[in-house]
Amino acid sequence: MELCVVNQPIQEVPTDAVIVSLFEGVTVPTGATAAVDQALGGAIHQMIAAGDFRGRKNETAVLYTLGRLPARKVVLVGLGKAEDLDAERIRQAAAAGVRKAHETGAQTVATAVHGAGAGQVEARAAAQACAEGIVLGLYEYEGFKSRREEQRPPVSRVVLAETDAQRLAAVEDGAQRGRILAEATNFARTLANHPGNKLTPTDMAEAALEMAREFGLQCRVLERADMERLGMGALLGVAKGSHQPPKLIVLEYQGAPGDRDILALVGKGLTFDSGGIDLKPGEHMEEMKYDMAGGAAVLGAMRAIAQLRPAVNVIGLVPATENMPGGGAQKPGDVVKACNGKTIEIISTDAEGRLILADAVAYACNLGATRLVDVATLTGACIVALGHLATGLVSNNQPWAEEIQRAAAATGERVWQLPVWEEYKNQYKSDVADLKNTGGRAAGTIVGGMIIGEFVGDTPWAHLDIAGTAWEVSDVPYQPNKAATGVMVRTLAQLALNLAQGRAESGAAGRAPR
Ligand code: BES
Ligand code: ZN
Ligand code: MN
């Protein structure tokens, strides 16, 4: 899809549909909406006066232009109350508007930069949120149906119309950034949506290599023999029950050569989680094809970082494997040793995410990581705690946790921090090894996270549990329902951008938080 910015009044852009927005409670439209209303002879004003359009969040209406505009249709989208306007409202409204235009068969669309004139959100940020909403909102996973169901043609071109020439550069810049972030998110969504037989660890490694080639990143893939040499017994233990060979994907981005700081993004790449010998129940087991969504988020974030080029060094690691109950599978009671020498007693073979991440984060530290974030569909307990509305956050370092929250707040991806109290460690003490891989039902998300944290030493680390947010989110117009969301791609990329910004502001090499 083509996305561009023009310096032209929206009512003059020749497209199939034009999209303008309205705040709730406004009776006299302003800006682009007023210009379109005028061209329509006051039709929008009349709709509002008649109570047929209220401007509620993501409310849409379609008007026919009857030749008064070059466009055949006008889509009106509600922004909610003016005082509640923020980037997330704009992102959602942009998605709702463009999806409505798509539904009515429009292939080319012109849209106002919603909310840019209201003052609370800068033009650049508004344009970015708009572009994100559009590109995310129009995403569709192709799937494997042999006959495509009757469908509207895809939207091939979206034009952001900005009349204020002074704002044009900011709008262009914001739109470009928004598009990069949303396309990276869609890339992650597609990987996560692939069924387990279409995206094995080998396929995931190939996807990473191809992406790295396209966007100019270094990429290498550690094979089983490399893992054996490095002593990655925790990752290898999980892979034992599968015929698919495990892979450890390592991506490198050098945005600040000579700087000793390295941000490591580590994502769980479990391409299918059957539970292993502790086999999961059959109901909903198919959803475990999404168990590599954290890994996909890391690949997506690295893709965006490669394009946005922040002045920081970032490495991305994705341990990829299946968790299967084959004859060679590891068993409850087995003891494995991770590459940092720590031993783990396997209590549940279904608590495999923390095992593969243990080796991956320890390896990231060996590669020189000075700050870490891991992203994983780690625990069902996180869905119990936070539902599908927020990602769980567990960290060993409060300033670093707040840095993650700052990035998440900027992208509208909700993150909620959980406590890390010393006493929780008692839950995962083992009689025969340094620790065990589960700590019972209590505080499952915290304990799962803390077990990963045992493998980073003192390095500032944060763990993002996306079990509830990686798929199955409804009522957000830019999120597909019952499919992968690509959550955390934008937040991880934002984190790298913020670190680069902080580095620039401190005038020298960025300092790791203490
Ligand atoms: N991938 C699952 C977690 C999960 C479950 C994500 C449901 C999304 C939806 C993970 O590997 C797992 O099985 N976790 C166990 C941990 C337990 C055995 C300590 C869980 O949550 O039950
Ligand atoms: Zn899992
Ligand atoms: Mn599991």
CA of 296 to the centre of ligand 2 (A): 14
Q: Is the pLDDT of residue 509 over 80?
A: no
Sorted by where each begins, the domain ranges of the chain are: 2-162, 183-505
Query: pLDDT (tens digit, 9 = 90+) per residue, 423-440?
Result: 999 999 999 999 999 999
Among 283, 324, 346, 378, which is best to mutate for testing ligand 1, by the most ligand atoms less than 8 A from CB? 378
Neighbours of 197 (CB within 10 A): 11
CA of 280 to the centre of ligand 3 (A): 8
Q: Which two tokens stand for residue 255?
A: 């945005």
Mean pLDDT, residues 91-107 taken together: 98
Output the pLDDT for position 510: 44
Output the pLDDT for position 202: 99
Output the pLDDT for position 237: 99
Q: Which of 280, 331, 406, 425 is the catalytic position?
A: 280
Mean pLDDT, residues 52-81 taken together: 98
CA of 93 to the centre of ligand 3 (A): 37
Which pLDDT band, with edges at 50, 70 and 90, does 508 fall under?
A: low
Q: Is 380 in the pocket of ligand 1 (CB under 6 A)?
A: yes
Q: Is the pLDDT of residue 471 over 70?
A: yes
280 is catalytic: yes
Q: Which of 89, 189, 247, 354 is the catalytic position?
A: 354
Q: Is 273 in the pocket of ligand 1 (CB under 6 A)?
A: yes
- The residue type at 503: R
Is the full-model pTM beyond 0.95? yes
| Residue among 277, 288, 269 at smallest CA distance from 330 | 277
Q: Which two tokens stand for residue 327?
A: 């004859």
Tell me whether residue 500 is exposed, middle or buried, using C-beta atoms within 10 angstroms of its C-beta: 0 to 12, 13 to 18, 19 or more: buried
**Residue located via tokens 């209201």:** 118
Q: Is the pLDDT of residue 259 over 60?
A: yes
DSSP-derived 3-state class of residue 394: strand
Q: Is 438 in the pocket of ligand 1 (CB under 6 A)?
A: yes
Mean pLDDT, residues 354-374 taken together: 99
CA of 351 to the centre of ligand 3 (A): 5
Q: Is 348 in the pocket of ligand 1 (CB under 6 A)?
A: yes
Mean pLDDT, residues 307-331 taken together: 98
Of the bound ligands, which one is closest to the alpha carbon of residue 444? Answer: 1
Of the bound ligands, which one is closest to the alpha carbon of residue 379? Answer: 1
CA of 438 to the centre of ligand 1 (A): 11
CA dist 469 and 471 (Å) reads 5
Read off φ and ψ for residue 394, nearest 5 degrees: -130, 130
Q: Is the pLDDT of residue 147 over 90?
A: no
CA of 405 to the centre of ligand 2 (A): 24
Q: Is the pLDDT of residue 98 over 80?
A: yes
**Range list of H helices, 309-397:** 353-366, 380-386
Task: Render the burial of 380-389: b for 16+ CB within 10 Å, e for the rest.
Answer: ebbbebbebe
> What is the atom index within ligand 1 of the atom nearest the CA of 438?
19
Kindly give, in sequence order, each residue whose CB lies less than 8 Å from that of residue 206, ignoring residues fewer than 6 positions away.
Answer: none
Q: Is 385 in the pocket of ligand 1 (CB under 6 A)?
A: no
Q: Which two tokens stand for residue 83?
A: 């005082």
Please give, one letter per residue, the 3-state secondary structure of 95-145. HHHHHHHHHCCCCEEEEECCCCCCCCCCHHHHHHHHHHHHHHHCCCCCCCC
41 touches 68 (CB < 8 A): yes
User: Which CATH architecture best describes the domain 2-162?
Assistant: 3-Layer(aba) Sandwich (3.40)
The protein residues having their C-beta less than 5 angstroms from ligand 3 (an ion) are 273, 350, 352
Query: pLDDT (tens digit, 9 = 90+) per residue, 209-255?
Result: 999 999 999 999 999 999 999 999 999 999 999 999 999 999 999 99
Output the pLDDT for position 482: 87
Q: Is the pLDDT of residue 511 over 90?
A: no
Regarding beta strands 73-78 and 60-64, do their DSSP bridges make them parallel or antiparallel, or are they unpaired?
antiparallel
Q: Is 445 in the pocket of ligand 1 (CB under 6 A)?
A: no
Mean pLDDT, residues 184-203 taken together: 98
Mean pLDDT for the chain overall? 96
Of the bound ligands, which one is closest to the alpha carbon of residue 285? Answer: 1
Output the pLDDT for position 321: 99
Tell me whether residue 430 is exposed, middle or buried, using C-beta atoms within 10 angstroms of its C-beta: 0 to 12, 13 to 18, 19 or more: middle
482 is catalytic: no
Output the pLDDT for position 514: 46
Output the pLDDT for position 284: 96
CA dist 425 and 445 (Å) reads 13
Q: For the domain bounded by 183-505, which CATH number is listed?
A: 3.40.630.10
Output the pLDDT for position 513: 52
Of all residues in the chain, what percent are helix, strand and coil, respectively (each to 5)? Answer: 40, 20, 40
| Residue among 134, 158, 113 at smallest CA distance from 20 | 113
Q: Is 322 in the pocket of ligand 1 (CB under 6 A)?
A: no
